[in-house]
């Protein structure tokens, strides 16, 4: 695929990942996500824009054009009974140079992709009994500062490698800090066959502003949210998991009277098994 640019500048990894308050950026290709998942040094690496960029930009330009045309029509209408000013007769001039037209085709049948939901939609789904799952694709330091309770923690760079953990029998609602990164990942998941993948508008900030709860991990926890971890040999024997997958990611950390308690997420096809109420002694670094 030939390299493509946005506003004449290649999109780099630093521009892609963004942070709090980041504006939406071009979609991430599976190859770029896979590069991140493998932990390669991607400093300065140019990321390719997704093929769907043209369609989305086209839709947004159409919206802008329709608004501008509507304002123009309104400005040309005169109040009832009011005299319209007579414009002076222009002096003859040389014919204008031919200009290239922007073919927006405002009346075409191209359907704009709907990817976003907000807190009101989530509440409706819950009241209707529709199953859904929050997926946090922020970076690990952001998760440690607070994440949605019971969210599936999966950093953006791991999505290509770990998408098999996500269910296809329910809505998958991706969120980040402000909605930019989650929009990219929701679009990517749609292309991977997750037809019920969505981006949460406004990200974590919008969730908290609407009264949503968050879980903040203890700062002195041995394993933070999103960290890789595995069951210790003693825990494997105690739980009878000798022939099962025992390496995964920390999905939750709580401070209890008995000490810190962890939830270890273990990947299964289309789901994530969650082993709860684990102590620090039950875990080791893989």
CA–CA separation, 198 and 115 (whole Å) = 5
Q: For residues 163 and 148, give the distance between their C-alpha atoms in angstroms, rounded to a whole number.
A: 19
CA–chain centroid gap for 275, Å, is 26
Question: 7 an active-site residue?
Answer: no
Task: Spot the catalytic one: 28, 156, 176, 229.
Answer: 176
What is the Cα–Cα distance from 218 to 253, expressed in whole angstroms? 7
Q: Are 218 and 253 in contact (CB under 8 A)?
A: yes
Exposed / middle / buried, residue 271 (Cβ in 10 Å: 0-12, 13-18, 19+): middle
Interatomic CA distance for residues 217 and 260, integer angstroms:
9
Please give the distance of CA 258 from its chain centroid, rounded to a whole number.
36
Query: Do β-strands 197-200 and 116-117 pair in parallel, antiparallel, or remain unpaired?
Result: parallel
- Strand-pairing partners, residue 261, are 254
Q: Which two tokens stand for residue 217?
A: 């991990």
CA distances from 285 to 2, 152, 253, 264 (A): 41, 20, 16, 12
Question: Which sequence positions are flagged as catalytic?
Answer: 176
């Amino acid at each position: 695929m030939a390299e493509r640019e946005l506003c004449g500048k290649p999109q780099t990894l630093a521009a892609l990942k963004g942070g709090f308050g980041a504006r939406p950026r071009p979609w991430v290709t599976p190859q770029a996500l896979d590069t991140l998942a493998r932990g390669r040094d991607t400093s300065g690496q140019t990321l390719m824009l997704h093929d769907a960029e043209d369609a989305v930009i086209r839709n947004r330009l159409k919206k802008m054009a329709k608004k501008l045309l509507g304002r123009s029509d309104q400005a040309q209408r005169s109040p009832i009974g009011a005299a319209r000013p007579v414009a002076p007769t222009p002096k003859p001039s040389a014919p204008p140079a031919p200009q290239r037209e922007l073919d927006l085709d405002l009346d075409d049948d191209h359907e704009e992709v709907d990817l976003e939901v907000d807190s009101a939609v989530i509440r409706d789904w819950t009241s209707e009994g529709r199953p859904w799952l929050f997926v946090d694709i922020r970076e690990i330091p952001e998760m440690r500062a607070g994440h949605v309770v019971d969210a599936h923690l999966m950093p953006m760079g791991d999505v290509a490698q770990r998408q098999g953990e996500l269910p296809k029998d329910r809505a998958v609602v991706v969120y980040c800090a402000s909605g930019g990164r989650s929009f990219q990942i929701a679009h990517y998941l749609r292309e991977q066959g997750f037809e019920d993948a969505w981006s949460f508008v406004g990200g974590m900030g919008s969730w908290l502003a609407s009264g949503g709860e968050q879980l903040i991990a203890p700062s002195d926890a041995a394993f933070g949210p999103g960290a890789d971890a595995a069951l210790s040999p003693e825990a494997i024997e105690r739980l009878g998991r000798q022939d099962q997958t025992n390496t995964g990611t920390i999905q939750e950390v709580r401070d209890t009277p008995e000490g810190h308690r962890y939830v270890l997420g273990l990947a299964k096809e289309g789901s994530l098994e969650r082993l709860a109420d684990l102590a620090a002694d039950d875990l080791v670094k893989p």
